[in-house]
Amino acid sequence: MTEKIAGKTLEEWVKESPIIDTLVNGEVVFWINDKKKGFEEAKDTVQFNRADVIDAEERLQRFAPFIKQEFADTEALDGLIESPITHLEAFQKELEDRYQVNIAGQLYLKRDDLLPIAGTIKARGAIYEVLCHAETLALESGLLESTEVNYRVFSEPKFREYFSQFKVIVGTTGNLGISTGVMAAKFGFDAIIHMSNDAKQWKKDYLRSHGVTVIEHNTNFTEAVNQGRIAAEADPQSYFVDDENSKYLFLGYTTAASRLKKQLDQEGIKVDADHPLFVYLPCGVGGSPGGITFGLKHTFGDNVHCFFAEPSHVPSLLLGLITGEYANVSVFDFGIDGKTVMDGLAVPRTSQLVAPLMENFFDGGYTVLEDEASQTLTRLVDVEKISLEPAAVAGLSGPAKLFKTQAGQAYLSAKGLMDKQDQITHIAWATGGSMVPDEDKKAFYEAGLVK
């Protein structure tokens, strides 16, 4: 009997959506989400709204004095965890030459590789979730009298002592663990990180050096998350940061949007119907690109266009959305091996929280080949002297693919943007890299040298 995937054979899936054949063959795709609604309609159909985003922004603001006190690298931004944007004039030309295509508009890089504390996009969600948990426990216990007091009190020994009886547990390919672990340990929680076999050794070493317990699993991301969840369920004193399902992670990511708007305003970069913003986000389980997209749509409405980038060996969100089965299907079900140098994106099954939500908001997705990512990483070092980790470069090929592919051209035309292309601002979201040890940086660089 032919094996079925969520009730259908592979042949049936391919017949229904021929693009699945391209994905199964590991070839690149550029896919437009035709189920997306206009923002005004979409915003009323989901469980989160603008008030949730504002609530998250206010919580981060309340904790800013504590963060500023505890992490010297947040001093300049008064305790806000934020990253700059960099104009990539020379690299835009490099992309044009490599992909043999004209890229209209201006290309920028959002530097979450430089984000304070953990140097990765995952810090936005992870740190926010740890703050939520600490605030809830502190209010319940009476240690924190109200949300009106100065949150510098969280540095007092009695808080650390109280939190030390609780565990914070997470399952991760690495970066979520770094962000959660470092922040949880700072509060005094017992932080335990379950890591998948994709996690890099330096990430484990780094966490251990920060007093965090690392449990190594010889399994993929989905299984490492499961192991963490099981461990947390067995212990009433523990709290599980659930990369696949957490609304707190999601809301933490959303807060990037209003800050980006401020930065663009400061740079004099307009975003409106005549000056569209295109954002390209690396996608693993979908939480960080999903949350940021949700925030961006609430900030810029239909004038922002968000595309997610996945490795051609791990197109889990694309398969989840194209089939409409979301987290019911994994890349393995389709015979795709899930192996990638882009370790942060090595997630075989998408998030059941984020995938259905994104169906309403994100504009499309594309896949990136292994060599393509490696070469982008190396050329970015050569041309701009910026060194990212492999997962973090996935957004950079987005503008080239938008203009090079038929699907991209059709998208621009359908949105009435053909005569506004020169006014496009493209932002590739760099999601990590500053913490990578020199030895690993060298190996990544060498892997992308064209032989």
Ligand X SMILES: Cc1ncc(COP(=O)(O)O)c(C=O)c1O
What contacts 140, CB < 8 A, 6 or more positions away? none
Bridge partners for 171 per DSSP = 194
Closest approach of ligand X to the CB of residue 197, in Å: 15
Alpha helices in 218-286 (DSSP H): 221-233, 247-254, 256-266
Give 338-342's long-range contacts (Cβ < 8 A, gap of 24+). Answer: 338/220, 338/313, 338/314, 339/313, 339/314, 340/311, 340/313, 340/314, 340/370, 340/390, 341/370, 341/373, 341/374, 341/390, 341/447, 342/282, 342/311, 342/314, 342/368, 342/370, 342/373, 342/390, 342/391, 342/394
Per rule CB under 6 A, is residue 338 in the interface with ligand X? no
# residues near ligand X by CB under 6 A? 22
Instruction: List, edge to edge, every strand of the sheet that includes 364-368.
Output: 30-32, 364-368, 304-311, 277-282, 425-430, 106-111, 85-87
Q: Would you say 144 or 257 has its CB closer to ligand X?
A: 257
Per rule CB under 6 A, is residue 289 in the interface with ligand X? yes
Q: Mask of contacts with ligand X, 141-180, x by CB under 6 A?
A: --------------------------------x-xx----
Stretch that binds ligand X, among 77-85, 254-262, 343-351, 376-384 (CB under 6 A): 343-351
Per rule CB under 6 A, is residue 340 in the interface with ligand X? no
Cα 431 from Cα 256, distance rounded (Å)? 12
Residue 425: Cβ within 10 Å count: 20
Per rule CB under 6 A, is residue 120 in the interface with ligand X? yes
Per rule CB under 6 A, is residue 118 in the interface with ligand X? no
Closest approach of ligand X to the CB of residue 92, in Å: 21
Q: Would you say 378 or 434 has its CB closer to ligand X?
A: 434
Per rule CB under 6 A, is residue 311 in the interface with ligand X? no
SS3 335: coil
What contacts 281, CB < 8 A, 6 or more positions away? 288, 289, 292, 293, 306, 307, 308, 309, 395, 429, 431
Per rule CB under 6 A, is residue 194 in the interface with ligand X? no
Per rule CB under 6 A, is residue 432 in the interface with ligand X? yes
Choosing from 94, 242, 372, 389, the residue that interacts with ligand X (CB under 6 A) is: 389
Choosing from 396, 431, 436, 448, the residue that interacts with ligand X (CB under 6 A) is: 431
Closest approach of ligand X to the CB of residue 359, in Å: 16
Q: Would you say 163 or 248 has its CB closer to ligand X?
A: 248
**Conformation bin of residue 116: beta by default, left when phi > 0, alpha when psi is -120 to 50:** beta
Closest approach of ligand X to the CB of residue 257, in Å: 15
Stretch that binds ligand X, among 55-63, 117-125, 202-210, 398-406 (CB under 6 A): 117-125
Helical (H) or strand (E) element with 68: helix 50-70
Closest approach of ligand X to the CB of residue 287, in Å: 3
**Conformation bin of residue 169: beta by default, left when phi > 0, alpha when psi is -120 to 50:** beta
**Which residues in the 52-71 window bind ligand X by CB under 6 A?**
none
Stretch that binds ligand X, among 40-48, 287-295, 361-369, 376-384 (CB under 6 A): 287-295
SS3 361: coil
Q: Would you say 74 or 288 has its CB closer to ligand X?
A: 288
Per rule CB under 6 A, is residue 282 in the interface with ligand X? yes
Q: Which residue of this chain has its Cβ atom nearest to ligand X in the complex?
A: 344
The footprint of ligand X (CB under 6 A) covers: 120-122, 173, 175-176, 282-289, 344-345, 347, 389, 391-392, 431-432
